[in-house]
Structure 1
Amino acid sequence: MNWRNLILAGLTGAAIGYVVTKKQTETITPEKALKQLKEKASEHYRISGAWIMVKAEEKNVHGLPYSVYKGGFSSSSPGTEASHFEFLLDASTGSLLQLIQK
């Protein structure tokens, strides 16, 4: 193996490492996070409306720092009063961190 191939392999590895690291630190869009939540929550709730803040904010959840999206949804069944929920979603993964019934 000559020096040129060795240098090229090293640069390629560094570029791939940079791209992977950069991708892991990006946030998902709030719309995608809300869609994921609604799909999962619809297994247990009949969602009649939902909202999400489009700007992520820093918040401690259970003592750990997260970049989160705040939002909420309403759930209603025929003949019953609507229930309102507020949630926090991890802006990196869309994972539900907190769900509170209001």
Structure 2
Amino acid sequence: MNWRNLILSGLTGAVIGYVITKKQTDSLTPEKALKLLKEKASQHYSITGAWIVVNPEDTSVHGLPYSVYKGGFSHSMPGSEAVHYEFLIDAGTGTVLQLIQK
């Protein structure tokens, strides 16, 4: 094996390692996930407060496995009590998988 093949093999391995590592870390941050949820929900709700769990959890929704962030928000209208909602949001795509009034 000559030096050219050795260097080419090393560079190929480094590129493949980088691509695999990048693919594994392509999930949303919890802050970004909460921001996306607030943008979507504010079209229908008057959000007065929100929270999110910073560590994603593995769960199943409708029998399908997901890595999700759990969180919630409060919605209130003038002159009425706040209504609380809890949500599950896909940690990879930011898709709201579940929204439940509590």
Match of 1:68 in 2: 68
Equivalent pair of 1:25/1:92 in contact (CA under 8 Å): no
In the TM superposition, what whole-angstrom CA distance separates every residue of 1:63-93 from its partner, at most 9, and x where no partner exists?
0111110000000010111110000011111
Aligned Cα RMSD in Å? 2.2
The runs of 5 or more residues in structure 2 that have no matched partner are none
- Calculate the TM-score normalised by the size of structure 2: 0.79
- Calculate the TM-score normalised by the size of structure 1: 0.79
- Cα distance change of structure 1 residues 22 and 93 upon mapping to structure 2, 3 Å threshold: farther
- Cα distance change of structure 1 residues 75 and 62 upon mapping to structure 2, 3 Å threshold: same
The percent of aligned pairs where both chains have the same amino acid is: 61
Which stretches of structure 1, 4 residues or longer, exceed 3 Å deviation after superposition?
Answer: 8-25
The runs of 5 or more residues in structure 1 that have no matched partner are none
Count of residues paired in the alignment = 100
Q: Compute the displacement of 1:23 (Å).
A: 3.6
- CA distance in structure 2 between the partners assigned to 1:22 and 1:33 by the alignment: 21
